[in-house]
Amino acid sequence: MFFWGISYIWSKEVFKFLEPATTVWFRLLISVVFFSILFSLQGRKIRIKKEHWGLIIIASFFNPFLYFIGESYGLQKVTPTISAVIISTIPLFTPVFAFLFLGERLKPLNILGLFVSFAGILIMLIDRTAGFTASPVGIAFLFLAVFSAIVYGIVLKKLTFSYNAITIVFVQNLFGVLFFIPIVFLVEYESITTIQWEFSWIIPLVLLGVFASSLAFVLFTYGVHKLGITKSNIYTNTIPVFTAFFSFVIIGENITFDKLAGILCVIIGVMLSQNRKSFRKKIAL
């Protein structure tokens, strides 16, 4: 979550020079190269069972492809802090998704948490004159990322029973590179031809590829295997805290009282959305 929190700052820096899809494509390429070197040093070969290719393709389509479409184009239009807060609602909507598609019952705290967290988002996104402080299109893209992450998490859990975290992340990022090719070379082709290669964006891009698209996903995948998707997703509510801090320190983003209040509401809402026992444990901690 630390890596993902600071990744919003790195992405903003790269977006000054590259389009969103191109940025993601490059960071996935860096991730694939990073893992390939790692496997080569270890003498490891990747073997995927025939019956699992369908699950892997589905997982890769939702994340990194759809997720990063939503996150990157959303981040291009709104601030890093608001982006991180919306992404942090993933654990909030996970039980709602389970209720709609898996028939799991929603508890009163789940519903209360949904309303509290949604109120936090409204505090951040709507000013006191009832006007939007952030682009509605950007917000829609970010919620696409939230939905994609929920679907991805459910599919990911099934894969963790058969493969280790590094193998899963390497293969999904490899498919992600393939999925992004049409967008990069058809939609954003003109921007590629005018790229100015400078260390000012190459360094944060490499950091995105190694830390955000590689190590962070490996750690998260390992967490899903050990804790389950619901418990693992709880930790995403710490992302806006990291992002707000780094936004203030690195790029000088103005952290207003409304943003702080919104962050607090979202975090409380996510905590409430878990069961009562889990909530009490968090308070005790």
Phi-psi region at 251: left, alpha or beta (left = phi > 0; alpha = psi -120 to 50): alpha
**Domain containing 107: what range?**
2-284
Looking at the structure of the chain, the number of domains it has is: 1
The residue with greater pLDDT, 45 or 230, is: 45
What pTM was estimated for this model as a whole?
0.80
pLDDT tens digits, one per residue of 110-155: 677 767 877 777 777 666 655 556 788 998 999 999 999 989 988 8
**pLDDT of the residue at 120:** 79
